[in-house]
């Protein structure tokens, strides 16, 4: 066992002495030592209950003969960081989390790992570390939040963001907004739509690195505690069989995850996180892979923000494994992939209890909501390396659009123009210098997109950026434009009034300006001064790669 490096032999007496100072006994130190990486805190609603999940995981590990050793990581809530400088730190925190988990597991030679994240960048950050470490590892998320109810209608956090816009145009008063505010997020868990956190938690099932139900079992259900205990026990079986993380994270597992992502209409941010995880696992994944998966996988779940259903609905309808069973039966998944159950995906799917219980929430493949996947990758002179849009959340009338550019150098400028009613129907908002390097940190921009929806312009106005959008964004919001403006991308040369052509079905994104004019502008272009000149983000901006490759540090 790896842990013998600190527990066996006379030369390890000092190490055992320090461990005994913590309270560990000789018997405990003779067992496999299991690192429990958890991110419980009092600043993220999705993490407020992770102490209970952690305890249940530790119980499961002990029941199966292991010794759990708990440590923590940082965590940032994207919703709370949204719309101010804090959002610059969200994506960048993913790398800090990955580095911290890696550091702990190298300093303490654990025999296995359990990862207990729940929200936003904490999930991929922990998984990236585990891919580097290649130990027996399992993921246990905290689970999604219950759906909010206000005046008899189901709502979620996005309803509140869009409510801000409705107040601006007089469709909602401040008292009504306060009602939404008090009802949308009823308690612990990741926000209830198919936003980034829930997309990634559901994809842990598709990747085979978590037990069935990990993505959809509600945070407040006792079933979540039972799942945590079962996960601790399952991890010990992985340790016993020496099934390491990269044995699960195969190329075929990533392609399975892409198919599931397209089927349930996941967040555009999966196009950042899955390639970053694949990079750490040594299994290159590109935007072209997303494009290929989208072309052949029907979109069969209409989840918030694009549709009416929430994670509770998906869970009751059969969950991720019910989606996977349909895809597998049509030859769209590889059943030979090994999973965290120590069995193959095909063996897991043979369980007769896995079935679709609501064919409206999980439609059959021959009656999809859309014939192609929830995400689309666009290319053209504006995005030669790719751009990403959640096409399942775009109104039909905006799938093909051409309009004049309205150019803004930062999110705040665009948001002020939207709220100030200075944006006209038909225009294309361009927000640039918000990429991984230029932002720095590639801010998530739910505030401007929600404001557009709130004032009713999401069916008439498109928004382009080298930044990114929340998984809760709806409308013709095209992000991740690569190369970014700060790296010399064409987005930095767009001028007010330039015509921009968007054709989502044809995967095209073009600036309609003559090549000679573009060449003249390129000669005049100067890279702007860094917006942040000290601290972590200054270092991050110098090291971060393109969004098209997952924005990993080089």
Residues with catalytic roles: 470
CA 517 distance to own-chain centroid: 38
CA 498 to each of CA 15, 280, 400, 406, 507: distance values in angstroms, whole numbers, following the listed order: 66, 40, 17, 8, 20
Question: How many C-beta atoms lie closer than 10 Å to residue 65's C-beta?
Answer: 12
Q: What is the 3-state secondary structure (H, E, C) of 389-429?
A: ECHHHCCHHHCEEEEEEEEECCHHHHHHHHHCCCCCCCCEE
Question: Cβ distance 492 to 486 under 8 Å?
Answer: yes
| Token couple for 120 | 């936003």
For the chain, the first-to-last Cα distance in angstroms comes to: 32
CA 425 to each of CA 181, 240, 460: distance values in angstroms, whole numbers, following the listed order: 29, 61, 5
List all residues 6 or more positions away from 221 whose beta carbon is below 8 Å from its beta carbon: 143
Question: Cβ distance 24 to 193 under 8 Å?
Answer: no
3-state class of 408 per DSSP?
Answer: strand
Q: List the Cα angle 490/492/497 in 5-degree steps.
A: 90
List all residues 6 or more positions away from 541 whose beta carbon is below 8 Å from its beta carbon: 436, 437, 438, 439, 440, 441, 530, 532
Question: How many C-beta atoms lie closer than 10 Å to residue 369's C-beta?
Answer: 18
Say how far apart CA 101 and CA 140 lie, in whole Å: 15
Say how far apart CA 326 and CA 362 lie, in whole Å: 9
Element (H, E) at 404: strand 400-408
List all residues 6 or more positions away from 202 whose beta carbon is below 8 Å from its beta carbon: 194, 215, 216, 260, 264, 266, 320
Phi/psi of residue 113, each to 5°?
-130, 145
Question: Which of 343, 385, 392, 390 lies closest to 491, judged by CA?
Answer: 385
Say how far apart CA 142 and CA 41 lie, in whole Å: 12
């Amino acid at each position: 066992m790896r842990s013998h490096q600190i527990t066996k032999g006379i030369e390890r007496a000092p190490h055992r002495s320090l461990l005994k100072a913590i309270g560990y006994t000789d018997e405990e130190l003779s067992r496999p030592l299991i690192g429990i990486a958890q991110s419980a805190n009092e600043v993220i609603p999705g993490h407020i209950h992770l102490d209970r999940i952690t305890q249940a995981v530790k119980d499961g590990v002990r029941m199966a003969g292991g010794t759990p050793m708990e440590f923590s990581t940082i965590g940032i809530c994207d919703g709370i960081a949204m719309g101010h400088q804090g959002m610059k730190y969200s994506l960048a925190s993913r790398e800090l989390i990955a580095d911290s988990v890696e550091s702990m597991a190298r300093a303490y030679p654990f025999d296995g790992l359990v990862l207990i994240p729940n929200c936003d960048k904490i999930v991929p950050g922990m998984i990236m570390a585990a891919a580097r470490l290649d130990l027996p590892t399992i993921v246990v998320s905290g689970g999604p939040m219950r759906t909010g109810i206000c005046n008899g209608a189901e709502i979620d956090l996005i309803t509140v963001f869009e409510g801000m816009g409705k107040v601006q145009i007089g469709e909602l008063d401040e008292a009504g907004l306060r009602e939404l505010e008090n009802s949308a997020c009823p308690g612990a868990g990741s926000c209830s739509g198919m936003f980034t956190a829930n997309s990634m938690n559901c994809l842990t099932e598709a990747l085979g690195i978590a037990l069935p139900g990990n993505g959809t079992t509600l945070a407040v259900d006792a079933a979540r505690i039972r799942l945590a205990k079962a996960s601790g026990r399952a991890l010990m079986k992985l340790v016993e069989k020496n099934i390491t993380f990269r044995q699960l994270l195969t190329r075929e597992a990533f392609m399975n995850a892409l198919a599931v992502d397209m089927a349930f209409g996941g967040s555009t941010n999966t196009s950042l996180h899955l390639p970053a995880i694949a990079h750490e696992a040594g299994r290159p994944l590109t935007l072209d892979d997303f494009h290929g998966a989208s072309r052949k996988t029907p979109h069969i779940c209409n989840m918030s923000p694009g549709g009416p259903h929430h994670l509770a609905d998906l869970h009751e309808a059969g969950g991720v494994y019910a989606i996977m069973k349909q895809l597998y039966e049509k030859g769209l998944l590889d059943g030979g992939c090994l999973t965290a159950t120590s069995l193959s995906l095909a063996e897991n799917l043979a369980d007769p209890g896995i079935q679709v219980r609501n064919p409206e929430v999980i439609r059959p493949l021959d009656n999809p909501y859309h014939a192609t996947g929830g995400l689309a990758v666009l290319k053209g002179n504006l995005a030669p390396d790719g751009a990403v849009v959640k096409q399942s959340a775009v109104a039909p009338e905006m799938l093909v659009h051409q309009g004049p550019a309205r150019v803004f150098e930062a999110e705040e400028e665009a948001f002020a123009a939207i709220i100030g009613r200075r944006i006209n129907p038909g225009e294309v908002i361009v927000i640039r210098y918000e990429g991984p390097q230029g932002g720095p940190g590639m801010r998530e921009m739910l505030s401007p997109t929600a404001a557009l929806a709130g004032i009713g312009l999401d069916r008439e106005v498109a928004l382009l950026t080298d930044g990114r959008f929340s998984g809760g964004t709806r409308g013709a919001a095209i992000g991740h434009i690569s190369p970014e403006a700060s790296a010399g991308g064409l987005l930095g040369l767009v001028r007010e009034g330039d015509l921009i052509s968007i054709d989502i079905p044809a995967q095209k994104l073009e600036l309609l300006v003559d090549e000679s004019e573009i060449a003249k502008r390129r000669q005049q272009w100067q890279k702007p001064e860094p917006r942040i000149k000290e601290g972590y983000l200054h270092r991050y901006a110098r090291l971060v790669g393109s969004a098209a490759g997952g924005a990993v540090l080089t």
